[in-house]
Amino acid sequence: MNVIYSSTFAIVLLVHHYPYPTLWLWISLSLASRHLEVLAKIKALERMARRQTFWLHLLFLACWTSVGEAEYMKYKDPKQSINVRIKDLMDRMTLAEKIGQMTQIERKVASAQVMKDYFIGSLLSGGGSVPGPQASASDWVNMVNELQKGSLSTRLGIPMIYGIDAVHGHNNRIGEATALEVRATGIPYVFAPCIAVCRDPRWGRCYESYSEDHNIVQEMTEIIPGLQGDVPANYHKGVPYISGKVKVAACAKHFVGDGGTHNGINENNTIVNRDGLLSIHMPAYYNSIMKGVATVMVSYSSWNGVKMHANHDLVTGYLKNTLHFRGFVITDWQGIDRITSPPGVNYTYSVQAGINAGIDMVMVPYDYSEYINALTSLVNKHVIPMSRIDDAVRRILRVKFTMGLFENPLADLSLVDQLGKKEHRELAREAVRKSLVLLKNGKSRNDSFLPLPKKAAKILVAGSHADNLGYQCGGWTIEWQGASGNITVGTTILGAIKTTVDHSTEVVYSENPDEKFVKDNGFSYAIVVVGEPPYTETAGDNLNLTLPDPGPSTIRTVCGAIKCVVIIISGRPVVIEPYVHLMDALVAAWLPGSEGQGVTDVLFGDYGFTGKLSRTWFKSVDQLPMNVGDMHYDPLFPFGFGLTTGPTMARLSSSSPASAAAAAAAAADVRKEAYWVVSLFLSLSMAWVSTYLL
């Protein structure tokens, strides 16, 4: 229209500059004719415009309706069933988005941009991987949330799941405390419990195992409802269950046979027939699945020469198809790399073998682009079928939907005060005293040495582990391999002794005293605390299991001169037979973690000893492997052994108010309870806070 009017205006201007009448008449007639043509064209255009406007309105309405429908996404609606939500979301996902869900990377290589660009499905903190030195709960929450925001900014906004090790404790109450404190740091997923059946204490991960007896390990899967919540009455077997914002997704590990490797060598070969594997190492997985465990981690080890990370028969055939596990299967750290020897020599093959075996999520943890590219290529070449990818993603999404991660992807600071709270420390202390095992009490049957008197002129405390919090906690503490010294918040055994004895009792500490010092100082008795240094995994493999120096010499020097009780701090039985005759009393304290008062609670009779051995204490390593039920069974202390004592009346008469009733109740507890020593890593939930996070 503007063009037409502009052209007419130009003609008028042209006429205005020509004064000749004839020419003016001709131009006027021509202009009139042209004007009629212009008007006709205008009307035609107006009719066309009206028709176009009508269709444009229809098109706009159609687009508006389409946009309105797209805004309702079933997968974002918590009222829809989980299966409906999974299907709706998967129908929208590209291959890149699916493979991203199958990828778990270390926080050190993560950023919000990486999470967004690669659609990363999960993050983890490896041993010692923290937001910063002395990081607080708030620091953890803020770090997790910043990374989560990257995931939420993707096209579909699928939240990532953050995992971390929290291998502590052995029952429902401990599970609840662990879950609460892990959640307090903004993390919703723990790589626990370890349900290995340790058949040889030379294995460096034996302290992560509850027992050599699968029955005990099966009982200890009760930690799973503590971590995840109790499954409801209408629960379908095999489906993961996590009950709310103060619970975490658990991980049963390491599937399967990790505790049965030859000579206890970590990541080695478990040589046993199928019946042996299923009867010893598999039962606890059945219990875990019945309790709704969300994830299962595969073992580095092999079964009769076949790497578990590549074992389709057991991962898909037995775990998924026979046991009907519907959560997701995750690798161990660089687990698929170790399918080959040396690790990573043929990474593409490792990805192919691992994913086709039935692994759903790969703990990469660093070179995520190599893994993503390899898996993408294998799918595009039809080496790995799309059905296998869809199965993996379906399982991962099921866990995320079940735990409410889509509704509550970001952590808040409302739980930070739960970290290291007094009630949790008291629970840890209780677990310590119930887990101690009294192996010897007096040099004759009628000559009990324990409980020790709190009131004495002067007592000696000796040994490398008496005043070392890091040694009490063991591996997986602050750092992957643990460390020596006062590395976290807690109470050493020496500190606990000083606060427990009478104020008039002089406590003298000498780590490794000489014989003259011991004999010349008039000590009433001595407490010797020795044991293993911290270790984790392969670094803990030990073919001789001797007590590290100067432990043996300290025992000989002190116990050879005065009455003594020896406390062994270790993750497993060690060689002690040569020294037992020198001791008046012997206590297996395992790894008591941060709460040293749990040791003195029973040592001085505030509570009685009730713990029982959940693993055989051998005489010599030449006997190993040796487990209860073996034909050649000849232990120093047998499976299930543990002397008991009652709480002293002196303690009860001075306690609050109904001392007689308290004494009766305590005595009844001793009669009716025989606690198995099933937790060799008693740092517990609050110690995970104070040891792993601080």
Please confirm, yes or no, whether 532 is among the known catalytic residues: no
pLDDT tens digits, 583-622? 999 999 999 999 999 999 999 999 999 999 999 999 999 9
354/173: higher pLDDT: 354
Flag whether pLDDT at 692 surpasses 60. no
**Of 59-63, 112-116, 164-168, 216-220, where does mean pLDDT reach its minimum?**
59-63
Lowest mean pLDDT among 111-120, 552-561, 564-573, 662-671: 662-671
Mean local confidence (pLDDT), 354-364: 98
Task: Give CA separation, 103 vs 108, 118, 160, 411, 492, in Å.
Answer: 15, 9, 10, 21, 41
Query: 597, 621, 637 — which closes off a domain?
Result: 637
Burial (CB count <10 Å: 0-12, 13-18, 19+), residue 183:
buried
pLDDT digits (tens, 9 = 90+) for 375-416: 999 999 999 999 999 999 999 999 999 999 999 999 999 999
Please check whether residue 602 is in contact with residue 638, taking contact to mean a CB–CB distance below 8 angstroms.
no
Claim to verify: residue 376 and residue 319 sit in the same structural domain: yes
Instruction: Establish if 36 belongs to a structural domain.
Output: no
Same domain, 326 and 430: no
In this structure, is residue 276 part of a structural domain? yes
Whole-angstrom distance, CA of residue 586 vs CA of residue 566: 5
Domain count for the chain:
2
Using DSSP, state whether 409 is helix, strand or coil.
coil
Looking at residue 593, its pLDDT comes to 95
- How far is the C-alpha of 441 from the C-alpha of 443, rounded, in Å? 7
pLDDT at position 444 is 86
Among residues 181, 212, 332, 606, the one annotated as catalytic is 332
Tell me the pLDDT band of 478, cut-offs 50, 70 and 90.
confident
DSSP assignment string, 438-493: EEEESSSTT----SPPS--SEEEEESTTTT-HHHHH-SSBSBTT--SSS-SSSB-H
pLDDT at 168 over 80: no
Higher pLDDT, residue 173 or 660: 173
Does position 58 have pLDDT exceeding 60, yes or no? Answer: no
pLDDT reported for residue 690: 32
Whether 357 and 276 share a structural domain: yes
CATH number at residue 477: 3.40.50.1700
pLDDT at 4 over 50: no
Q: Which residue has the higher pLDDT, 434 or 694?
A: 434
- Distances, alpha carbon 568 to alpha carbons 163, 283, 510, 692, in Å: 33, 31, 17, 24
Give the pair of three-digit tokens for residue 668: 């009844």
Q: Is the pLDDT of residue 252 over 60?
A: yes
Residue 30 domain flag:
no
What pLDDT does 2 receive? 39
Q: What percent of the chain has pLDDT over 90?
A: 79
- Tell me if 579 is assigned to some domain: yes
Same domain for 432 and 359, yes or no, is no
Residue 47 confidence class, pLDDT cut points 50, 70, 90: low
Q: Identify whether residues 462 and 403 lie together within a single domain.
A: no
Pull the structure tokens for residue 571.
């993750």
Which of the residues 537, 541, 595, 601 is marked catalytic?
A: 537
C-alpha 620/C-alpha 546 separation (Å) is 9
Handedness of CA 551, 553, 554, 559 (dihedral sign): positive
Q: What is the pLDDT of residue 52?
A: 56
**Residue closest to 685 by CA, chosen among 491, 418, 478, 436:** 418
What letter does residue 640 receive in the DSSP assignment?
Answer: T
pLDDT surpasses 60 at 18:
no
pLDDT, residue 314, reads: 98
Is residue 664, in this structure, part of any structural domain at all? no
pLDDT band at 648 (very low <50, low <70, confident <90, very high): confident
Residue 288 has which token pair? Answer: 């875990």
Nearest CA to 195 out of 239, 272, 256 is that of 256
Query: Are 464 and 373 part of one and the same domain?
Result: no
* Alpha helices, DSSP H, located in 233-385: 274-276, 283-290, 312, 347-357, 368-380
Same domain flag for 360 and 449: no
pLDDT at 127: 85
Phi first, then psi: what are they for 287, rounded to 5°? Answer: -65, -40
Asked whether residue 517 is domain-assigned, the answer is yes
pTM: 0.86
Query: Residue 190's domain spans which residues?
Result: 81-411
Residue 438 belongs to some domain of the structure? yes
How far is Cα of residue 616 from the mean position of the Cα atoms in its chain? 28
Query: Cα 214 to the chain's mean position, in Å?
Result: 22
395 and 310, same domain (yes or no) = yes
- What whole-number distance in Å separates Cα of residue 592 and Cα of residue 9? 99
Answer yes or no: 332 catalytic. Answer: yes
Q: Looking at the structure, do residues 487 and 606 belong to the same domain, yes or no?
A: yes
pLDDT at 683 exceeding the cut of 90: no
CB 428 within 8 A of CB 590: no
Does residue 66 have a pLDDT over 60? Answer: no
Reply yes or no on whether the pLDDT at 3 is more than 50: no
What CATH number corresponds to the domain at position 384?
Answer: 3.20.20.300
Q: pLDDT tens digit string along 297-321?
A: 999 999 999 999 999 999 999 999 9
380 with 526, same domain? no
Longest Cα–Cα distance of the chain, Å, equals 148
Between 139 and 128, whose confidence is greater?
139
Domain match, 329 and 469 both: no
pLDDT at residue 128, as a whole number? 85
Distance between first and last Cα of the chain = 75
| pLDDT tens readout for residues 184-231 | 999 999 999 999 999 999 999 999 999 999 999 999 999 999 999 999
Residue 605 belongs to a domain: yes
Q: Which of 357, 377, 411 is the last residue of a domain?
A: 411
Domain final position from 589, 617, 637:
637
45-54, 211-220, 446-455, 678-687: segment of lowest average pLDDT: 678-687
pLDDT at 663 over 90: no
- Identify how many contiguous H helices and E strands the chain contains and give both numbers: 25, 19
> What's the rounded Cα separation, in Å, for the pair 482 and 208?
14
Task: Kindly state the average pLDDT of the residues 133-154.
Answer: 96
Q: Are residues 434 and 456 in the same domain?
A: yes
